[in-house]
């Protein structure tokens, strides 16, 4: 894809109501100052990690599945593929549910009807995958989204008054034993969406190597996350502390915008969720197809995979998925952050030892069945992280999310080095 097309397709992810909601919710929980410090640290870390991953994917044309074969083995890579598919589908369910709630708030009617409407109108937009017209859809809707949010801020301020309450909100300090301090808890909460690192690789694999510098800085780097996390959070915090009745809950921001702004509020939510869900649907269905074809040897036309993915999304919408958002983010954080840490360690070790990346066009048979270092490090770190999250201790969720990638990187490095040492020793002995 050309530089502008890939950038516009990727920037569909900048406009999720989740980013507006989570910033406000964290400011309410930990105070605005701590939330903003945590957000600043998040933007820096996301920018650095995705600079590495996007550059690697652009240079080598490797998707998550293709890359995972090297560090997990051809069978282990299927685990990464299904985790990616499941997470993207979960986000499609969540973001679609927000839009359905907004439709119901404006027009009434049963939720199942609006769930169906959301799925039916979204599916044609992602027909043909990322490269067909996601850049055009998201390019057209980008100014509508930001213009709508800015207009909402102006309207809220003129109606309810501008003040600095949203910037000065404080809460009693939260200690480490209770999951704090607030800035660290905020940073850990955003680690729950490290799935964006996987999104980055699949999008970046479509880029031209000559555009690597541009994409690492502006498409997938600090600018994107400054807007996605920083600008959205600031708007969410301002609106939540300015507009009476606007609740910083999973669906409260969307429903509140519709209740207070009517059709204009619905337009903002519609544009926001349409843009983010094009990426969720495209990547969720693409990786579902990848898993089906590689693991189950099922070969079906693209339209069948699209319909199958849409059916799964609709059925999941009928369940109370939204109620378990924060728990799901924590579990996903434990799974995905481990993969990211192993990926970064793998890239660093290969570079250190002068090993070239395995080309994406290689068949699965060219890779070992299981890469013990990668699979062991991922499974053990994820299990440890989830155990801490489910421990029932106030600090478990924060600590579990932070420990997982550190443990994954250390285990992968240690096991790989040990196995390499044994291999060298066996080679010498054989001579």
Give the whole-angstrom CA distance, residue 31 versus residue 279: 32
Position 70 scores a pLDDT of 92
Sign, Cα dihedral of 400, 401, 402, 405: positive
Position 279 scores a pLDDT of 85
Position 427 scores a pLDDT of 43
pLDDT tens digit string along 102-126? 898 889 889 999 999 999 998 888 8
Between 260 and 194, whose confidence is greater?
Answer: 194
pLDDT tens digit string along 295-334? 888 888 888 999 999 999 999 988 876 666 667 767 777 8
* Phi, psi at 42, each rounded to 5°: -60, -45
Please say if the pLDDT value at position 236 is more than 70: yes
Position 425 scores a pLDDT of 46
Helices 232-242, 32-60: axis angle to 10 degrees equals: 150
**Residue 140, CB half-sphere, CA atoms under 13 Å: how many?**
6
By C-alpha distance, which of 14, 404, 335, 347 is closest to 203?
Answer: 14
Give the whole-angstrom CA distance, residue 180 versus residue 147: 35
Domains and CATH numbers, the chain: 3-323 (1.10.4160.10)
By C-alpha distance, which of 97, 137, 132, 133 is closest to 117?
Answer: 97
Mean per-residue pLDDT, 119-146: 77
CB-based burial label for 223 (10 Å; 0-12, 13-18, 19+):
middle
């Amino acid at each position: 894809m050309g530089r502008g097309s890939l950038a516009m397709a990727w920037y569909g992810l900048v406009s999720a109501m989740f980013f507006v909601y989570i910033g406000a919710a964290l400011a309410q929980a930990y105070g605005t100052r701590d939330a903003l410090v945590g957000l600043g640290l998040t933007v820096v870390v996301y920018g650095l990690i995705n600079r590495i991953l996007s550059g690697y994917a652009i240079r080598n044309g490797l998707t998550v599945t293709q890359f995972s074969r090297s560090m997990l083995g051809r069978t282990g890579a299927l685990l990464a593929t299904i985790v990616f598919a499941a997470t993207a589908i979960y986000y499609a369910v969540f973001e679609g549910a927000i839009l359905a709630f907004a439709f119901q708030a404006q027009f009434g009617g049963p939720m199942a009807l609006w769930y169906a409407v959301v799925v039916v109108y979204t599916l044609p937009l992602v027909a043909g995958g990322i490269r067909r017209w996601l850049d055009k859809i998201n390019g057209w809707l980008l100014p509508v989204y930001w213009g709508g949010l800015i207009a909402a801020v102006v309207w809220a301020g003129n109606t309810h008054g501008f003040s600095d309450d949203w910037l000065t909100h404080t809460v009693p300090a939260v200690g480490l034993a209770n999951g704090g301090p607030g800035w660290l808890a905020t940073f850990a909460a955003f680690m729950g969406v490290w799935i964006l690192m996987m999104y980055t690789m699949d999008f970046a694999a479509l880029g031209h190597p000559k555009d690597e510098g541009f994409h690492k800085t502006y498409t997938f780097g600090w600018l994107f996350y400054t807007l996605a996390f920083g600008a959205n959070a600031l708007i969410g915090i301002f609106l939540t502390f300015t507009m009476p009745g606007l609740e910083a809950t999973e669906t409260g921001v969307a429903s509140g915008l519709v209740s207070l702004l009517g059709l204009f509020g619905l337009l903002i939510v519609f544009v926001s969720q349409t843009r983010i869900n094009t990426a969720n649907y495209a990547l969720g269905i693409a990786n579902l197809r990848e898993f089906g074809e590689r693991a189950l040897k099922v070969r079906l036309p693209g339209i069948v995979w699209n319909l199958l993915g849409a059916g799964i999304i609709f059925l999941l919408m009928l369940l109370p998925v939204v109620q378990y958002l924060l728990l799901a983010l924590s579990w996903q954080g434990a799974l995905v952050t481990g993969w990211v840490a192993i990926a970064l360690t793998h890239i660093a070790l290969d570079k250190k030892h002068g090993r070239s990346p395995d080309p994406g066009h290689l068949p699965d048979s060219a890779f070992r069945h299981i890469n013990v270092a990668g699979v062991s490090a991922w499974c053990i770190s994820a299990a440890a992280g989830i155990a801490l999250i489910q421990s029932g201790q106030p600090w478990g969720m924060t600590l579990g999310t932070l420990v997982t990638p550190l443990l994954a990187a250390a285990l992968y490095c240690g096991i790989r080095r040990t196995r390499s040492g044994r291999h060298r020793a066996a080679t010498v002995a054989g001579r």
